């Protein structure tokens, strides 16, 4: 999904063969009402743009996929999003359809990714921030799995903050690799030969994802465990491995991952992290995980460590005055440092940077003079 990038208004997508036609889309409303403003990001099978609805001046995002992509990842992604429209932390889809040679999905505009925040915070989150993030993500995964879907690509890039009053809510995005899940289907797929390719992203993929085996909810939870360790430690044991080619690199990562014990993975972290990983690995494929027990494990740790937050789990996101799980955005922006003075300075700097991104589109339309001028200045969290 989109990366929450701060980019120049004149930037255009130029890496696909159809880019001359893409330029024309800037001058023609999509679905008769959506006007492209600028590119926000690019994935493996689509491009995401900032757009506005000319009927109400609402800011939104458009994801475009060329018709040559077959089967369509975007159509499946839109269909899966539709099943979670009333759930907290899932992007709202406004429209899906065709525009000339492109499939188009119009959806809710979101803020920066957890990867963006992690990079800006010096590639390490405090224990407090990690625990608060994990609490929300466990709620999202439970809702996703309850709806019969496994994500299969859990990573920081696929979790985004909301905007405005939802600025402290974490959204799960990018269902391009998501798959429908039933116990009977997993059991049937376990009897077939595994695929020969990785499903997911090597750094955070489960062992079964590396092996191309049928995945189940426990695989998403395993990937979350790797992401937790990544946030809290700043690095995973299999980062920086040298290899020739992507296939060899993926195999090297898998082998290192298999050789790393949960104790080594969670070294210097509270024991709850290793306990979580071991419990998740021990879950049989056809058994529903005990999400509440996993969540309460970290909440008890939070209490022990003096982490305070108003945890709540709203069941619908469209009611007025919905209280998000996080107390406020600032709990996401306090990061690790040994120097208390530096900690205070950095905390203020990061809060201002994140607030810039989160509220830039809510204070005024992104195409207004004020925000165009803001985006002409190099932003605090630069896209890659």
Residues placed in the known binding site for ATP: 63
User: Residue 287, Cβ neighbours under 10 Å: how many?
Assistant: 12
Is 47 within 8 Å of 61 (Cβ atoms)? no
> Which two structure tokens, joined as six digits, stand for 152?
């299969």
| Cβ neighbour number for residue 83 with a 10 Å cutoff | 15
**Radius of gyration (C-alpha) of the chain in whole angstroms:** 21
Which of 21, 18, 2, 3 has the alpha carbon at shortest distance from 62?
2
**How distant, in Å, are the alpha carbons of 77, 89, 271, 295 from that of 136?**
22, 9, 20, 9
Per DSSP, 30 falls in state: B
Q: How many CB atoms lie within 10 A of CB 260?
A: 17
> What is the DSSP-derived secondary structure letter of residue 3?
-
DSSP letter at 101?
T
265, 203 Cβ separation under 8 angstroms: no
**DSSP per residue over 233-263, as a string?**
HS--TTTT---SHHHHHHHHHHHHHHHS-HH
For residue 95, the Cα-to-chain-centroid distance in whole angstroms is: 21
Distances from the Cα of 274 to the Cα of 223, 235, 253, 261, 280, angstroms: 13, 16, 20, 9, 10
- Euclidean distance between CA atoms 216 and 182, whole angstroms: 8
User: CA torsion angle for 153, 318, 302, 296 (degrees, to 10)?
Assistant: -70
- Token pair for 103: 């499939």
Q: Rounded to an integer, what distance in angstroms lies between the CA atom of residue 232 and that of residue 347?
A: 17
Contact predicate 169/162, CB 8 Å: yes
Q: Has 153 been annotated as catalytic? A: yes
* Catalytic residue, candidates 116, 135, 153, 220: 153
Tokens of 65: 């996929």
Q: Which residues are catalytic?
A: 153
């Amino acid at each position: 999904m989109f990366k929450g990038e701060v980019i120049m208004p004149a930037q255009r997508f130029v890496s696909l063969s159809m880019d001359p036609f893409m330029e024309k889309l800037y001058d023609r409303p999509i679905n008769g009402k959506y006007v492209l403003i600028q590119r926000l990001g690019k994935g493996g099978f689509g491009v995401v743009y900032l757009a506005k609805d000319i009927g109400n001046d609402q800011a939104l995002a458009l994801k475009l996929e060329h018709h040559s992509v077959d089967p369509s990842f975007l159509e499946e992604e839109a269909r899966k999003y539709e099943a979670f429209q009333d759930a907290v932390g899932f992007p709202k889809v406004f429209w899906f359809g065709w525009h000339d040679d492109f499939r188009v999905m119009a959806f809710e505009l979101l803020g920066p990714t957890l990867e963006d925040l992690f990079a800006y915070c010096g590639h390490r989150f405090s224990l407090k921030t990690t625990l608060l993030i994990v609490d929300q993500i466990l709620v999202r995964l439970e809702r996703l799995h309850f709806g019969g879907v496994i994500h299969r690509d859990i990573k920081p890039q696929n979790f985004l903050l909301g905007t405005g009053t939802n600025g402290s809510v974490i959204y799960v995005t990018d269902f391009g690799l998501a798959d429908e899940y039933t116990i009977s289907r997993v059991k049937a797929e376990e009897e077939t030969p595994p695929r020969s390719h990785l499903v997911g992203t090597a750094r955070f993929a489960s062992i079964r994802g590396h092996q191309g085996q049928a995945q189940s909810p426990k695989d998403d939870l395993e990937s979350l465990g790797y992401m937790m360790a990544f946030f809290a430690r700043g690095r995973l044991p299999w980062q920086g491995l040298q290899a020739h080619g992507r296939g060899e690199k993926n195999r090297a990562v898998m082998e290192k991952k298999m050789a790393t014990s949960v104790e080594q993975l969670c070294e210097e972290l509270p024991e709850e992290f290793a306990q979580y990983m071991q419990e998740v690995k021990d879950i049989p494929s056809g058994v529903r995980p005990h999400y509440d027990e996993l969540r309460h494990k970290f909440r008890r740790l939070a209490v022990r460590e003096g982490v305070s937050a108003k945890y709540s789990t709203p069941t619908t996101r469209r009611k007025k005055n919905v209280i998000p799980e996080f107390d406020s955005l600032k709990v996401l922006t306090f990061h690790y440092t040994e120097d208390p003075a530096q900690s205070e300075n950095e905390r203020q700097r990061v809060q201002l940077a994140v607030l810039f991104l989160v509220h830039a589109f809510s204070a005024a339309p992104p195409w207004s003079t004020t925000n165009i001028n803001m985006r002409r200045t190099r932003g605090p969290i630069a896209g890659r």
